[in-house]
Amino acid sequence: MDRQIVGPGQLPLDTDLLNTNKNVLLALGALAQSMFGTNTIAYGLGVTPTTPASLSVNVAPGSIYAASQIDATAYGSIPADTVDIIVKQGIQLAASQLALLAPATAGFSVNYLIEAAFTEVDGVPQLLPYYNATNPQQPYQGPGGNNQQTNTRRQGLVSLVAKAGIAATTGTQATPSIDAGSIPLAVVTVAYGQTQITATNIVAVKSNVLPADLLDSVQQNRLDYAVDTGAANAYAIALQPTPNAIPDGFIATFQASNSNTGASTINVSGFGAYPILGVAHSALQGGEIVSAGKCEIMWHQTLASWILLGCTGGAQQTGVAKSSTQAVQFGQLTGMVGSVRHLTSAQNSAGTSLSFTAEQIIAATALGGIEYRLTNFNQTINVATTGTGGMDTGSAPASGFVGIYAIYNPTTGAQSILGTNATATAVPTIYGGGNLPAGYTVSALIGVWPTNSSGQITPGCQNDLDFFAANTIIVSTTAAVTTPTLVNASSMVPKNARTMRGALALNASSGAQNASVNMFSSSTGSVFGIQNANNTNGGGQSSIPFNNFPLLTPQTFWWDAVYSSGSSIAANVCFAGYSI
């Protein structure tokens, strides 16, 4: 800030005082600009009804800040400065009233835009004494003794206007556009026959108005917080005051009015509707934003999108460290998609219904998508029906397999179950068909069960992702099988099975030597997945159970049954279950 210097004994000039005032103007203007920027902004100036109520409105005391030329005209003896720009302050010390008129046509209403602008005028005229060189003891009254008043103050003021729109049928009237250089304070609606304006007729416009408690607002983080006024999947907030720009990394918070059901956008203070992405930089799937949730977003300039950093009560995309707000009602996630804990199911006789219970299931919208922990799962599927709680489409396959999914609706919080034909192909961990029931966007494969020729679920039981069935012979021989031979187990093992369990049985004649029966995961008889039962001393029986035999090729393994000498052997491979 510049300060004027006047030397001892110097004859003071009018410019000394004027420059002192100008220096203060420049200093305060620079300070205001550093705080508020160069956009026109107001403080106070609230619009309210008069007391008693009338067809006028009160505009409260306040101030306005606007960028302006330093001096559009000469300031006393100081020439005009129209090149340099500084933020100036206009002040309204007392409340002001604006009179409005009701439309003259029945059934019509009109919108008034109450707007404010900064204005600077020279005023407060006074008759001033001037030096009289011919008679110093008798000053002139007015310049040169002309007895004319002179303006004594360059005033920064608030200029208020009630701009009327075009009257129209009530409900169709439009608010007039804002005038250049002005900012809106409120919209006041007046109907035909109305004689009083009440608070319900006034809608404040706060986009360019500083909050009354500015310092408290900074401390309480209210300058970048707003309540959403948009719709589900299309959010909108208006920060007070409106930011000059949205730079990279800008953070805003808002309270959502609706839960999202899929990909979403947000319009922040009228800068345009841009996508909201999850922390994994993918479009939202549904359930990440919940009604009344407190949401935090960050502008990502490179992606031209807002990143949802979190929403209380909402889900968050995977691929990064997880937060406590990650699952809609289920808490923080810790497992892999498709994993289960304490899942059980049992079927004592063939039927169309099958019940599943689980302490928890990790489900998701997609692999790499949004995960949810479904707790206390207890659902029953009926493969004779379709839709929620039944098959996704059609009927259960005959002599095939049914893939069974836990499904979840993140909007309503509903859990359910769904079946799909898993005979011809391995079904994915996340349901990949096009027949999820409406609203159910989250799923996880929790079982694949065999069916009989009538399309009924066959007897068996399941613990977690392990299926158990009664021992059944898959393949047997009474002669030597000297080289690894292919066995197709598709009638008992689904394509989703990763491992198989069962037993190898061997019955060698009394003269047989070095008899053995073996299983392999490859056609070469390599060490991968070898299971064997043997008898090297000739004669006798042996049975060896096996678990987690790897099915490197779905539904397929290789086997042999050999002996070095003797008369005969009998060998078989028994099936007892699989894991998916």
- pLDDT tens for each residue of 537-579: 555 678 889 999 999 999 999 999 887 776 678 889 999 999 9
In-domain check, residue 8: no
* Cβ 264 vs Cβ 233: under 8 Å: yes
Q: What pLDDT sits at residue 369?
A: 77
Which whole number is the average pLDDT over 448-474?
96
Q: What pLDDT sits at residue 529?
A: 57
Distance CA 443, CA 486 (A): 35
Percentage of residues in the chain having pLDDT higher than 70: 91
Query: Do residue 245 and residue 354 come from a single domain?
Result: no
Query: Do residue 251 and residue 307 come from a single domain?
Result: yes
Q: What pLDDT sits at residue 110?
A: 98
3-class state of residue 543 by DSSP? strand
Q: What pLDDT sits at residue 242?
A: 84
In-domain check, residue 553: yes
Query: Do residue 189 and residue 291 come from a single domain?
Result: no
3-class state of residue 568 by DSSP? coil
Q: How confident is the model at residue 320 (pLDDT cuts 50, 70, 90)?
A: very low
How does pLDDT run across 247-303, given as a tens digit for each residue?
999 999 999 999 998 899 999 999 999 999 988 788 888 889 999 999 999 999 999
In-domain check, residue 1: no
Is residue 510 over pLDDT 90?
no
Which whole number is the average pLDDT over 430-447?
95
Query: Do residue 371 and residue 400 come from a single domain?
Result: yes
Structural domain ending residue among the three candidates 151, 184, 209 = 209
Structural domain ending residue among the three candidates 181, 209, 237 = 209
Max mean pLDDT range (323-327, 497-501, 509-513): 497-501
Containing domain of residue 106, as a range?
14-209
Query: Do residue 88 and residue 205 come from a single domain?
Result: yes
Which whole number is the average pLDDT over 65-78?
94
In-domain check, residue 35: yes
In which region does residue 355 sit, left (phi positive, over 0), alpha (psi from -120 to 50) or beta (all else)?
beta
Query: Do residue 409 and residue 481 come from a single domain?
Result: no
How does pLDDT run across 205-217, given as a tens digit for each residue?
988 888 767 666 6
Mean pLDDT (the chain, rounded)? 89
Q: What pLDDT sits at residue 331?
A: 34
Structural domain ending residue among the three candidates 463, 483, 515 = 463
Q: What pLDDT sits at residue 541?
A: 77
Angle at 155 between CA 149 and CA 156, to 5 degrees: 165
The values of phi and psi at residue 308, to 5°, are -80, 105
Query: Do residue 384 and residue 414 come from a single domain?
Result: yes
Query: Do residue 475 and residue 387 come from a single domain?
Result: no
Is residue 321 over pLDDT 50?
no
Which residue's structure tokens are 């918070």?
A: 253
**Structurally, how many domains does the chain consist of?**
4
Q: What pLDDT sits at residue 469?
A: 95
How does pLDDT run across 123-182, given as a tens digit for each residue?
999 999 999 999 999 999 999 899 999 999 999 999 999 999 999 999 999 999 999 999
Q: How confident is the model at residue 334 (pLDDT cuts 50, 70, 90)?
A: very low
Query: Do residue 36 and residue 119 come from a single domain?
Result: yes
SS3 content of the chain, % helix, strand, coil (to 5): 5, 45, 45
Q: What pLDDT sits at residue 241?
A: 83
Q: What pLDDT sits at residue 333?
A: 39
Three-class DSSP labels, 381-447: EECCCECCCCECCCCCCCCCEEEEEEEEECCCCEEEEEEEECCCCCCCCCCCCCCCCCCCCEEEEEE
Q: What pLDDT sits at residue 389?
A: 97
In-domain check, residue 100: yes
Query: Do residue 19 and residue 98 come from a single domain?
Result: yes
**Token pair for residue 241?**
């005051």
Distance CA 484, CA 420 (A): 35
Query: Do residue 457 and residue 477 come from a single domain?
Result: no
Is residue 227 over pLDDT 60?
yes
Q: What pLDDT sits at residue 531?
A: 60
Q: What pLDDT sits at residue 428?
A: 96
Query: Do residue 362 and residue 497 come from a single domain?
Result: no
* Cβ 308 vs Cβ 269: under 8 Å: no
Is residue 364 over pLDDT 50?
yes
How does pLDDT run across 89-130, given as a tens digit for each residue?
999 999 999 999 999 999 999 999 999 999 999 999 999 999
In-domain check, residue 333: no
In-domain check, residue 9: no
Q: What pLDDT sits at residue 220?
A: 67
Which whole number is the average pLDDT over 441-470?
96
Distance CA 387, CA 391 (A): 6
The least confident of 216-220, 239-243, 438-442, 459-463 is 216-220
In-domain check, residue 319: no
Burial class (CB in 10 A: 0-12, 13-18, 19+), 468: middle
Task: Give the CATH number for residue 523.
Answer: 2.60.120.380
